[in-house]
Amino acid sequence: MLAGNAPGLQHPNSNSILRGLIITLAYDDVNRTVTKRLLEKLGCEVTAVSSGFECLSALSNVEMPYRVVILDLQMPKMDGFEVAMKIRKFYGYHWPLIIALTASTEDHVRERCLQMGVNGMIQKPVLLHVMDSELRRAL
Amino acid sequence: LHAMNTVVAQLQRRFQDYLVSLYQQGFLDNQFTELRKLQDEGTPDFVAEVVSLFFDDCSKLINSMSRSLERPENVDFKQVDSGVHQLKGSSSSVGARRVKNVCISFKECCDVQNREGCLRCLQQVDYEYKMLKTKLQDLFNLEQQIVQAGGAIPQVNIN
């Protein structure tokens, strides 16, 4: 499906399936900066936000065709699940795609994610190639 | 030209050895390697910027946890737990292995509301992040010397 020997890890070309707008939501600076850079390295255009409100505001901007929201579930001052729920409530289950980042390996987190309409899950800390394959799987 | 090449090669060698030693001594883990992969000619300061954010976080979180642990009769363990959780998350994201490991013990002390244990862990995490900060500063200095001598930063494979 995709050309290239190291898919996504080379300079993005016009055929890259990953070209597209992504919102990444994480509470703390470190995680937000790292995730944003990781996604950019894979050829994505990224908007990094630090609140559910900013996330929903960005999605409501019709001029920016966002495709995916990368959502950090472990945020101290806000509930990542709640943000996912709100996204699904306002925009339905087909758009945008939501990929959750979690440090937890517990089953109930996975189940809850599925219930919330999350399309994919990645374990933290995030590895470049894992993000790469998860995005390709989801998109 | 030959002399310059030798200087560059020597600096590169020093850099490589130093970086490998940081992994071997357990200061860094694979996630730091991942971080280095994200740096390129377009973003030459990426790693330095991220670790700088991390050390700022450490300082802030340690201060607030210290305040929460201050009075023995009134410890806000929920707040401490939240701080440890954040610290564990960000140390994990940058590959700060020793800091992350202290956080694991720290969380355990928090879970059983062991103030003394928490205070010890707090002291240890403070020590570890400051130690790492010094080590990485030395590493970045070596990087800078290589660049100034006209060389390229070596890709280092950690086994």
CATH number assigned to the domain comprising residue A76: 3.40.50.2300
- The answer to whether B89 contacts A29, with C-beta atoms less than 8 Å apart, is no
What's the CA gap between A99 and A67, in Å, rounded? 11
- The answer to whether B85 contacts A128, with C-beta atoms less than 8 Å apart, is no
Which of A117, A72, A122 is CA-nearest to residue A90?
A117
| Residues making up chain A, counted from first to last | 139
What's the CA gap between A102 and A58, in Å, rounded? 22
Higher pLDDT, B157 or A71: A71
**pLDDT surpassing 80 at residue A124:** yes
**B106 pLDDT tier (thresholds 50, 70, 90):** very high
- Could you tell me the pTM of the whole model? 0.88
Tens-place pLDDT, residues A40-75: 999 999 999 999 999 999 999 888 888 999 999 887
Question: What is the residue-wise DSSP string for A59-123?
Answer: HT-TTS-EEEEEEES--TTS-HHHHHHHHHHHH-SSSSEEEEEES---HHHHHHHHHTT--EEEE
Is the bond preceding residue B72 a cis peptide, omega within 30 degrees?
no
Which of B147, B136, B143, B150 is CA-nearest to residue B14?
B143
**pLDDT surpassing 60 at residue A13:** no
- The answer to whether B38 contacts A37, with C-beta atoms less than 8 Å apart, is yes
**pLDDT surpassing 60 at residue A7:** no
**B41 pLDDT tier (thresholds 50, 70, 90):** confident
Asked if residue A126 is part of any domain, the answer here is yes
Q: Which of A41, A125, A128 sits opposite B93 (nearest CB)?
A: A125
Q: Which amino acid is at A127?
A: L
Q: What is the structure's pLDDT at A2?
A: 34
- The answer to whether A76 contacts B34, with C-beta atoms less than 8 Å apart, is no
Asked if residue A55 is part of any domain, the answer here is yes
What's the CA gap between A118 and B95, in Å, rounded? 27
Asked if residue A60 is part of any domain, the answer here is yes
In the β-sheet with A97-102, what is the strand arrangement from edge to edge? A45-49, A21-25, A66-72, A97-102, A120-123
- Residues of chain A contacting B, Cβ within 8 Å: 28-31, 33-34, 37-38, 41, 74, 76, 103, 124-128
Asked if residue A10 is part of any domain, the answer here is no
Q: What is the structure's pLDDT at A6?
A: 40
Phi, then psi, of B153 in degrees rounded to 5:
-70, 125
CB contacts, 8 Å: B61 with chain A: none
Contacts of B123 (CB under 8 A, 6+ apart): none
What's the CA gap between A17 and B14, in Å, rounded? 41
Proportion of chain A above pLDDT 70, given as a percent: 86
What's the CA gap between A37 and B49, in Å, rounded? 12
Q: Are B125 and B103 in contact (CB under 8 A)?
A: yes
* Residue entry with tokens 């090449």: B5
Mean confidence (pLDDT) of chain A: 83
- Domain of A38, in residue numbers: 22-138
- The answer to whether A124 contacts B85, with C-beta atoms less than 8 Å apart, is no
CB contacts, 8 Å: B94 with chain A: 30, 34
Q: What is the structure's pLDDT at A16?
A: 59
**B114 pLDDT tier (thresholds 50, 70, 90):** very high
Asked if residue A72 is part of any domain, the answer here is yes
Contacts of B2 (CB under 8 A, 6+ apart): none
Q: Are A89 and A57 in contact (CB under 8 A)?
A: no
- The answer to whether B38 contacts A28, with C-beta atoms less than 8 Å apart, is no
Cα nearest neighbour of A29 on chain B: B53
Average pLDDT over residues B80-96: 95
Cα nearest neighbour of B40 on chain A: A41
Q: Which of A11, A32, A37, A50 to mutate to test the interface with B (most CBs of B within 10 A)?
A: A37
Asked if residue A92 is part of any domain, the answer here is yes
Q: How many CB pairs under 8 A join A and B?
A: 54
**pLDDT surpassing 70 at residue A96:** yes
Q: Which of B49, B81, B93 to mutate to test the interface with A (most CBs of A within 10 A)?
A: B93
- The answer to whether B94 contacts A38, with C-beta atoms less than 8 Å apart, is no
Number of domains comprising chain A: 1
Q: Are B61 and B106 in contact (CB under 8 A)?
A: no
Asked if residue A64 is part of any domain, the answer here is yes
Asked if residue A7 is part of any domain, the answer here is no
Q: What is the structure's pLDDT at A139?
A: 81
- The answer to whether B34 contacts A33, with C-beta atoms less than 8 Å apart, is no
Is the bond preceding residue A96 a cis peptide, omega within 30 degrees?
yes
**pLDDT surpassing 90 at residue B63:** yes
Q: Give the three-class secondary structure for B44.
A: coil
